[in-house]
Amino acid sequence: MPVQTSRGPLVEVSPAGGYNAVIMKTQENELLQEILERLRSLDPPVKKIPVSAPDQAMTMVFLDLADVCYITTRTDSDRKEIMFVTRDGERFYNNMSLKDAEEKLKDHPHFLRTSKFYLVNLARIRGFKYSNERDLWFDGLDEPVENAVSETYLPAYQQHYP
């Protein structure tokens, strides 16, 4: 006799109490896929990213993405690279484009493109100003990031923060 789950029969049990077979249906495969997606959101596939080392003795260091508040093309001193700003206010650089960073982080559940200039870490947002500017405040940073969410990217942002 089949054992019922919320998604239908999963295991067929004989009258003697032994398991005869595991019956995997499309619904169970979908359930497993949902579980896998949830696990990925808890443990993102990309955890660190290479950036220029502040110490001249090293060529690069690997920055923990959990510490990153946002990534931007707006940099200090006219660099042609992207800047990673951490919750400590530290700035690190990488010579990839923002589009390349977005592609690299597409499976990371915490990073979202919010404008032409910003990828933000949703887990680090502590405040939002809903006006024409749509500024974001991040954990550990005193000043807001101005114009961080553009009209184009607002619907995607609102899916996470309605």
- Give the per-residue pLDDT at 20: 41
Instruction: Tell me: do 61 and 116 sit in the same domain.
Output: yes
Domain that holds residue 152: 48-160
Domain count, the chain: 2
pLDDT, tens digit, 9 for 90 and up, residues 3-61: 444 445 444 444 554 444 444 445 566 777 777 666 656 666 678 888 988 777 878 88
B/e letters for 50-85, b = 16+ CB within 10 Å, e = fewer, are ebbeeeeeeeeeebebebbbbbbbeeeeeeeebbbb
Q: Are 81 and 136 part of one and the same domain?
A: yes
- If asked whether residues 74 and 20 sit together in one domain, one would say no
User: What does pTM read for this prediction?
Assistant: 0.69
118 and 151 together in one domain: yes
